[in-house]
Amino acid sequence: MSPKKPPILPTHDLFQKYVLPTYARIPLSFVKGRGATLWDESGKKYLDFVAGVAVNNLGYAHPAMVKAIKAQAVRLIHLSNLYEIREQGLLASELIKYSGLDKAFFCNSGAEAVEACIKLARYYSIKNYSSDRYEIIVCENSFHGRTLGALSATAQKKYREGFGPLVEGFKIVPYDDIEKISGAITEKTCAVLVEPVQGEGGVNIPDASYLSRLRELCSQKNILLILDEVQVGMGRLGSLFAYQQTGITPDMVALAKGLGCGFPVGAVLASDKIASVARPGIHASTFGGNPLACAVGLAILSVISKKSFLEKILEKGSYFLQILHKLKEKHPVIENVRGRGLMLACDLKDDLASQVVAKARDKGMLFNCIQNKTLRFVPPLVVTKAEIKKAALILDQILGELNMTS
């Protein structure tokens, strides 16, 4: 007699019993999505302004992405990078065409992309200058990932605590302060690593001249400029790459999130200067750039790179920002609003942000809280103005309820 199969547990029980608790997970499980809408196990609908944390730029079940996955999956899913993978070459050529850079390396995530940038920057500088030239300047409130190297570049105490000695060679300066960066440069400095807009750090938007001045400084000092566009790249700010809004070109840029729209795709785009020191064995990724990942990336890029698509992001972002400003005028609990493209935020007084997130979830809207007081809105780039208006009405209602009870 065969043994009885154990009963299939509810999703929450499965997580409690079997999954390592590295996230403070909300006991909510989704079963399907379309566009900017999700449905949970009970059938309740949610308007999603989290988008997998700025990942699902084409929303859910986008036809171009679904078609690419189906077509590629029946041909080839994975091949070793011991061979030339055509889909990888095609995606590299498209990214290079749009970026103004020269060579691409593929991996699986933002942290991996940042790790590759760190290694390449050190390798280039040590090869061309000296073994002492390995330091990288990073900024306060940055977030670059949770692997040990990327974590060492992440200047937020809450992420760094408890992991013993981190990787040495990272010097921390204030964000949006060229003078402090200039003062931190020594003969040991090989690169500056920054986010064009700090996402996890609070949607911190620098002065309009920040990146152009930083590019000028790095060029003068013969050090590399590395941009982490994991969260802000691939159309999020209304241009394919965030740096394109400033007219500069970095030496390297790290990409992920929106490059795969939920499929694990990461990339580093680098200049010929960096590529000149590359050789077999200096870095690698088993799964990076496999046929399926790159087929997905190609399909996504074919949609997001269109001028009309990017223009609509700017239009919808401006519309959303105007609404947030009106809500600020109406509700004193809002201290500040800001945004660029479809990456927006508002700061709330009195530590109310987490309450607002929970109340919104009850009303069928999803967004999250960062830095304890900031509401971050990163909807799919395919979100409609009607959906933005609906989200604003929900937020308005919640803030009104809080005003009545405070």
Q: Which residue blocks in 161-199 are alpha helix, DSSP H?
A: 178-184
- Contact at 8 Å (CB) between 384 and 345? no
DSSP string, 246-311: TT---SEEEE-GGGTTTS--EEEEE-HHHHTT--TTS---SSTT-HHHHHHHHHHHHHHT-HHHHH
CA 263 – CA 245 distance, rounded (Å)? 26
The sheet carrying 368-370 orders its strands as 334-340, 343-348, 374-377, 368-370
d(CA 16, CA 365): 25
Q: Give the Å distances, CA to CA, from 335 to 171, 350, 352.
A: 31, 10, 12
Please report, for residues 24, 99, 143, 380, the alpha-carbon distance to residue 255 in angstroms, rounded to integers and kept in the order given: 26, 11, 14, 17
Strands 252-255 and 224-228: parallel
* Contact predicate 229/253, CB 8 Å: yes
Residue 357 bridge partners (DSSP):
none
Parallel, antiparallel, or unpaired: how do β-strands 266-270 and 252-255 relate? antiparallel
CB 143 within 8 A of CB 199: yes
DSSP for 328-392 reads: HHH-TTEEEEEEETTEEEEEESTT-HHHHHHHHHHTTEE-EEETTTEEEE---TT--HHHHHHHH
Note whether 54 and 199 are within 8 A (CB).
yes
Q: Which two tokens stand for residue 311?
A: 């223009």
C-alpha distances in angstroms, 191 versus 77, 117, 182, 219, 224? 36, 10, 12, 11, 4
Which positions are annotated as active-site residues?
Answer: 143, 228, 257
